Structure 1
Amino acid sequence: MPIMAVTAMKYPTQRHLPSIVNLNTFEVIARRLSITAAADELGLTQSAVSRQLSDLEGFVGVALCRRTTSGMELTVDGASYLRRVRTLLDELESATIAASMGSMPGKILRLSVPTTFGTLWAMPRLCAFATAHRQIQLDVATHTGPISMRDSGLDAAIVHCEGPEPGCVADLLHPLHSFPLAAPTLSRLVAPLTGAQMAALPLLHQSMAPNSWAAYLRQLGASVEVPMPGAHYGLLSLGLMAAEAGLGVALAPDYASASALQAGRLVKLNDKPFISPRSYFLVTTNERAKAPVIQSLRQWLTGQSEGAP
């Protein structure tokens, strides 16, 4: 329902931006669904909280909340607005913390890693780095899919790519070699299986690399068409769990499958690897690469990666 009342909240700049204080109050009200509880959390009076909500609603021109017999509830517009506001408030808080810690130059390193590779390969090495360099605060985030270093605000990132984007440098950490893996009970055929034999089995695909199976089977001499049938999984770890459950054959890298192979939960159907055109690189911008903290991380990870699974 549109709100036509004139609000006293002014434009702080030429941009159409509401008060951050009012946005934060709205987020607390939406989380607590109570003016009273929100006032207690914010250390304000109930009338002040109500006034800030009213000012925000007047600014955006729609009702964000409505009173009920048990408290407050979000309107459809309010729920939609909240989803975006929450993300922006979190990002603003993170940016403010990072800026506030600018008095510690060279002591903080902001890094992002791919979810699965970061968990299985990178984090043990990053923990060792942090232990050996206790003067450096290592902040680690995760990402899935591509990431732009120049727009990310990060100091460095481990990226699955063919090489660095313009204006960046990259250190090779881990080439991506994948093998066909399945539960021992999936097939009675004796390894190594041919490409045609594997193509007849249920294949498990990774959403981020949907054509890897086709490329690998062609490498083995099989004639296949794209797209190939089979279930798709958004994370490598999910595909491996499906393979262990006997749902099909996963084409998975060595770093992710070593423990399952050693324990006998998975077996290799062929020892010939699929070598991806992409590898895992440590990427940073040309400017940041000169920083001593980045140089220490680059030397550490490239040294740790030599000969490591």
Structure 2
Amino acid sequence: MTLPLPTLDPRARRRLEIGLALLADGQPAEAADAVRAALEIAPGDVESHYALGQALEAAGDDAAAAYRAALELDPEDRMGAAVRLALIGAAPAPAQLPEAHVRTLFDQYAPRFEASLVDALHYRGPALLRRAVDRIVPEGRLDILDLGCGTGLAGAAFADRRRRLDGIDLSPGMILQAMARNLYDRLEPGEVVAALAGWPERYDLVLAADVAVYIGDLAPLFAAVRAVLRPGGWFALTAESHDGEGWLLGDRHRYLHSPGYLAAVAAATGFAVTEVEAAWARTENGTPLPGWVAVLRAA
């Protein structure tokens, strides 16, 4: 991920770009040398410290100091340095990805999001949710809330089932893309759990396509969703899975959740598990990523 840094000295920018190119070419030691040269010119550049961490990590060297420097310079953590620290064992795994990291990632990703996700990664999360919901609630119009609505792919998948359709997304760039569909009655930017705390509407169905992958501890999310569902309402979500217990942070900056963990959190937050089906929602390097689609019912 590249941050907009218009004030970076052109000489430092050029050395950083060389370093990133060398890293992409599989030459991490040489990349680290190039990035160190950039930091000699611009020692306060967040992206260069993060890139140095990436190069050192790829070379099998200690990258913790570089990532910590990036985090100290940018406490909001747009680059995701805290995530890399956790993945190299230098810090505990955060309960969810830093908001600024996710917002920056998707604001930059928004203009090409659908082409990259649907065409390159064969994303089918909204279609999985639609099939799961139709099996359980085959007829009728619903008041629907689309969490992490992105560009509106899930909203489009449920367009003919909506009586009301609202959406929340952390990225303002994604919200602008969703607005262009003219499907939503209300669209708001914000972190989903915080936004739901003051949400005035109540729903028959809440969707969360590819949202759980950015949150480790799902209990706050489930509790917030339960608060905006009518009694007997439905919560449909996709997630990526692993063979162990609980949740863990994966190498791709995405969280994995076991089905057993889902059931435990659902029970603790006022849901009954109606359906859990093993299903992949996207691919990585052409390989489907193990996951599941679930439908929960509010007690």
| Shared fold per TM-score greater than 0.5 | no
TM-score by structure 1 length?
Answer: 0.31
TM-score by structure 2 length?
Answer: 0.31
The structure whose RCO (Cα within 8 Å, separation 6+) is larger is: 1
